[in-house]
Structure 1
Amino acid sequence: MGQLSNFTFAFCGAVALSGAAYAQQFSGAATLGYSHSSISNGGGDVNSWTLDAVGDLAFSNNMTLGMVGSFANIDPDGAGDLDAMDLGLDLRYQFTNGARLGAYVDYASLNPSPGGSIDLTSYGVMGGYEADRFNIDLHVGVTDTSPTIAPGLDWVDFGLNVGYDVSDNTRLAGHYIVSNLSVGGGDVNLTSFGIAADHHFGQGWSAYGGLSWFDIDVVNIEMVSASVGVGYDMSQVVNVPVQLSLELARNTVNASGGGFATDMDTIRVGVTMPLGQNTRAIPQNSAAAKIMRPRHNAASTALSMAF
């Protein structure tokens, strides 16, 4: 793990510094969002304020620096607030034949109030291929926890992310991520799988949706999520590059070992501003956006889609 950590941070730092003088263009989006969730079986309501942003900074030396950030204040009825933060960087080199190699660093923090924070730091290497309308990326890495979940814990992440532009107005994408936690001769697998679509109808209207599944194998707990949303580009009527969005989502949690099941129905609204070269963007607070551009471990990916 130490060698992988040293390589990842050295690669990101060295190439980012050497490429800073070659900045060519930036594209991204930021979304300010609010969500209201109702939990079945007397679970109460949850209100959340979120800020999500993504960006890609391309350099003229075939390097691209990818950035993601997410901040959430989660306020459940009858309990203290939760503050969640998720930050990520990846650095990729694009070869002329379409292949690409890179490295990533992710940091996620969940801070209950009152109580101490739970932090996850993921880092590793990635490789993939990009054509005109198709891309595929693989990654392998490790995750460190603070505080330590268990002495001697080894957390290894494997992931696949695929995207396909059906047309200039329609994109499909999905991911499959497995996080293997090993300690004391035992193993636990956290698995995240999702597929999503985004379509622009024209005249400012768009629609998006996604399906995802998260599983913890040893304790037989799974979360199945479905969402659908609609967006409107306000630049069609006023000279403001802002998109408004509304999303409906349902998360169903099942614990087959204990016979427990509950649903969480969520309404999300968002205000999205395209950044840089982008003129339109999927709302970054949507489940579909998190499916299309997941985190590099299964736990952070599942949490990012929950609220």
Structure 2
Amino acid sequence: MSARTLLATAAILCVPAVAIAQTAPTITSTVTVGFSSASLDGIPGANIDMTTTTLDMQNDIAFTPNINVGLDFGMSMTDIDIAGVPFSVEADLLSFAFEPSYHFGNGAYIGVYYRSGDLDLSIVPLPITLGVDTSQMGLFAGYESGPLWVEAFYGTSDSSPSLPGVDITDYGISASYDVMPNLEVFGHLARTDISLGGASIDLTAFAIGADYDFGNGLSLYGSYGMLDVGIPLPVSIDADQFSIGLSYDLTAAGSSIPALLSLEYTSSTVDLGPLASIDVDSIGLGFTIPLGHNGSLTPLNSSTQVARGQYRSAVSGTLASRR
């Protein structure tokens, strides 16, 4: 899928969502437009730079006090430039999530989720394009009361083209707690088991983060995450990531339009054992707008979204944190 097609799709989806959010108080929406620049070190003889533009939208539709439907949309376009190479790589990712849920009125709720992803890799200016479609579906259950929120999930993942004889299972838990009115802590643990006939690959992702509101429009947030990959080979593969960001609510400066500006630094290290150790440093910008009733001012392009439990797969969460 080309970048032009992705932008057209995003525009078609965003226009009606904005209109609905302005007229229906039972719809909560948040939109973030983001940009990031990253450099990759650790591959011998290669100097790699990446620039990424993102558009993310989260919608929560409350049909009744008990029935909610979440509709999420995400788009990212990444240009990968390798010094000394006469071509570049473009990676376009389009994602969609559908999550209906039933709330019992005592803080407990249950639901089902479906998330799809369309990844296209193009080599420019060569006429070479590779595409992979992924999907995740499953069940989740949670409890939210006062400052506490906790949720567990279980599901499966698939891909197209499909891999014969491969079964993928996802499960995990997420939680957050408001320690005080201006301090929130949150965490996420996800496990993805990939069965390859007689062999298996296990991915375990863990992330924890916090968000502190200074009360003058400024907020400081950050997270730390780890990924451990268990493979049937005498090679250890793991990764870790640290991110810290600063956001500012424009309404604190007298703006009549609620919006948030954010700046975030992220540092990642991927350890491939005796093969290589890759470091990725990136700087990201975000512009977030809440739409409708009580929209969130959390930047959706932040790496802390993994620690907040936004992704129900160790694989998709890891890829999203490195956009």
- Could you say which TM-score interval applies, normalised by the shorter chain? 0.7 to 0.9
- Superposition RMSD in Å: 1.6
Residue 157 of structure 2 corresponds to: 143
Matches within 5 A, 1:56-205: 56-78=60-82, 79-113=88-122, 114-149=128-163, 151-205=164-218
Q: Deviations over 1:111-169 (max 9, x none)?
A: 101322111111111112221111111111111111123x1111111111111122232
Residue 298 of structure 1 corresponds to: 314
Count how many residue pairs are aligned between Structure 1 and Structure 2: 283
**Equivalent residues of 1:198, 1:282 under 8 A apart:** no
Match of 1:283, SS state, is coil
**Equivalent residues of 1:24, 1:59 under 8 A apart:** no
Match of 1:299, SS state, is helix
**CA positional deviation for 1:28:** 3.0
Matching residue within 240, 254, 257 for 2:271: 254
Residue 34 of structure 1 corresponds to: 35
**TM-score for the superposition, normalised by structure 1:** 0.87
1:120–1:194 Cα change, 3 Å: same
AA aligned opposite 1:135: W
Distance 2:107 2:247 in 1: 32
Distance 1:293 1:265 in 2: 23
1:278–1:264 Cα change, 3 Å: same
Distance 1:50 1:62 in 2: 32
Match of 2:26, SS state, is strand
Match of 2:297, SS state, is coil
Distance 2:247 2:131 in 1: 35
Distance 2:74 2:189 in 1: 21
| The 10-residue stretch of structure 1 (243-252 or 71-80) with the greater mean CA deviation from structure 2 | 71-80
AA aligned opposite 2:171: F
Distance 1:289 1:275 in 2: 19
Residue 243 of structure 1 corresponds to: 260
Distance 2:227 2:133 in 1: 20
**CA positional deviation for 1:38:** 0.9
Match of 1:289, SS state, is helix
- The unaligned stretches of length 5 or more in structure 1 are 1-22
**CA positional deviation for 1:98:** 2.2
Match of 2:256, SS state, is coil
**CA positional deviation for 1:259:** 4.0
Q: Deviations over 1:71-102 (max 9, x none)?
A: 10010113220001222121111113322111
Distance 2:294 2:319 in 1: 27
Distance 2:65 2:296 in 1: 26
Residue 216 of structure 1 corresponds to: 229
**CA positional deviation for 1:105:** 0.3
Residue 3 of structure 2 corresponds to: none
- The unaligned stretches of length 5 or more in structure 2 are 1-23, 83-87, 123-127
Structure 1 runs of 4+ aligned residues shifted over 3 Å read: none
Distance 1:213 1:68 in 2: 25
**CA positional deviation for 1:30:** 1.1
Match of 2:315, SS state, is helix
**Equivalent residues of 1:106, 1:296 under 8 A apart:** no
**CA positional deviation for 1:171:** 1.7
**CA positional deviation for 1:37:** 0.2
1:165–1:26 Cα change, 3 Å: farther
**TM-score for the superposition, normalised by structure 2:** 0.83
